[in-house]
Structure 1
Amino acid sequence: MTGTTFEELPLTPSASRPLKVAVLSFAHTHAIGYCRALAGRADIDLVVADPDGASAPDEAPRGAELAAELGVRYLETYEEALAWAPDAVIVTAENARHRALVEASAAVGAHILCEKPLATTVEDAEAMLAAAERAGVTLMTAYPVRFAPSFADLLHRVRSGQLGTVLAVKGTNNGKLPAERAWFTDPALSGGGALVDHVVHCADLLDELLGEQPSTVHAVANRLLHPESAVETGGLVTAVYPSGVVATIDCSWSVPQSAPTWGGLTLQVTGTRGSVTIAPFAPHLGGQTEDGPVWVPLGTDLDGAMLDAFVDAVRSGRPATPDGRVGLRTLRVVDAARRSAATGEVVATVG
């Protein structure tokens, strides 16, 4: 896709003033972590708008109440937030609302970090990329696991040939049913369940690791884990790549609600010279007290590393990675998986 290059971008924000960042929506729980990470920074002027919070079908805090709890200035509408002329926005709305917010943000010249998946349809994602390119702004997809030191090490081992020719990859991204935000199980707002929510993270790592997109995808999914859900809660995706690599992704919401953490992601890469497994969320301080289980994550703050990369890209005018094209490619994998699960057939990917 051709369009505006980053050399043609408008002047980058002056380093002498705080970067104006607007968080659009508290719908996604990651918005809370992003606000906490940015609110205390002297180089960031932060606001948040969450007009859809009042009509959300759950009891979780949203809107002005949550903003006050986080110590973040609250604006009543998205229009007000964009009229504030932000340098950058973080779109953390329901998946189906990403396109409208990304297009509106691009129209006011704001650089964009958009929560994953980029959209609920390939057509929407393509329109979002086009809007960002027309406006000459960067569009980054929120894939924090890219910033895990263990993934950087794995990537080095694969590219340097330490594992030989890659033959197969086994990915898991298991977690809890996101019951605290009811929209995750509303197909109109989420676009689907576990296939949509969890496949994309592994698909992103595979995209970077293999440097190619799958030629075919086969998926199975069901609601056996949570029969009351309106979307799939368990799934397994098999992707075959042009090089012959076969990758599987277990994307189930299989972690019990009583678990001390949401879940975890793993990736095992097997080649002709060996195999390496990473588990970026595994390092932790664990134990048991009279108040219940203890789970304290250790190591790199992946969300913080991703936000640092986004802020640096906005400040410098350099491209943000992983960008919107990655978001589109991984959404194509999800789209193929949804169609395969619905028909029972192997689906050829397009793009």
Structure 2
Amino acid sequence: MIDDAPVGLADAPARNINMIEAINDALDIMLSHDPTVVIMGEDVGYFGGVFRATAGLQEKHGKNRVFDTPISECGIIGAAVGMGAYGLRPVPEIQFADYIYPGIDQLISEAARLRYRSAGEYIAPMTVRSPFGGGIFGGQTHSQSPESLFTHVAGLKTVIPSTPYDAKGLLIAAIEDNDPVIFFEPKRIYNGPFSGYYDKPVEPWKNHADSRVPEGYYSIPLGKARTVREGDALTVLTYGTMVHVSEAVCREKGVDAEIIDLRTLVPLDIAAIEASVEKTGRCLIVHEATRTSGFGAELSALVTERCFYHLEAPVERVTGFDTPYPHSLEWAYFPGPVRIGEAIDSILKA
């Protein structure tokens, strides 16, 4: 942990920034304070990343700390595993989550198992950053949500922020963690949250409460969910972009829902989930990834196993469809106000 952490975040100077700026700030802070941190990936150096998340970092910290790599996801992640075992804290960027598949063997067979297979002699303290989900009409090669593939792997941690405040604090915590972390960034909300309607303008982060980000160092513990809003009618379990869509739907429908932003899928804040569902007696799960074997299936099983006698209605899920991500029909694929609203009505009538 960095020694000059502010005593109280409430008293720390703060500014309104978007998620991209918050991520850049977190990376800058860790590069400045920890000489073992290095950033690597395609176009992350001179160009500053395709979404500009690493803009200016190579110029400030040098080409040995922030450097470009060949177009080889397997090579990027494999090299990061070796760097971590050697004593560095690499932060490799995979340009889009859709490109991470060539590196899955390195993540599963090497990074996730290194601590165990070496009896603790070696670790892989690496944080794999990657934009994921829809938002740019990128179709099936730039829009996938593969988080459930990684939550299944023992030894990997999976983090998905939904606000600039969380993005900075969670990324710092992930980089400091001694285990490999998959850090998925919802690109649809890089520049601001939105209601879920295609024809409504995006709300800029500067007008959003969670864009108020303290300057300097702070971290948010992995495995701690956030209660976005309290309520008694039902619990909504969600993460990433869907936090804002769910909140907008509940607000427009006037539903007294309690919305839980999971923030980290592994480790999962099971205690927060149980407490909320036991209070409301109803549960809706919302995520963008495909339905079958999506993380919502695991959440549904956990809620049913642990809160069965408190449930007053079946657990429901609103998700993406079991199809390749469409290009022109992105907004039909994306869980939106209509499908979420219908699920809420169904749960409340049960």
Structure-2-length-normalised TM-score: 0.37
More strand by share: 1
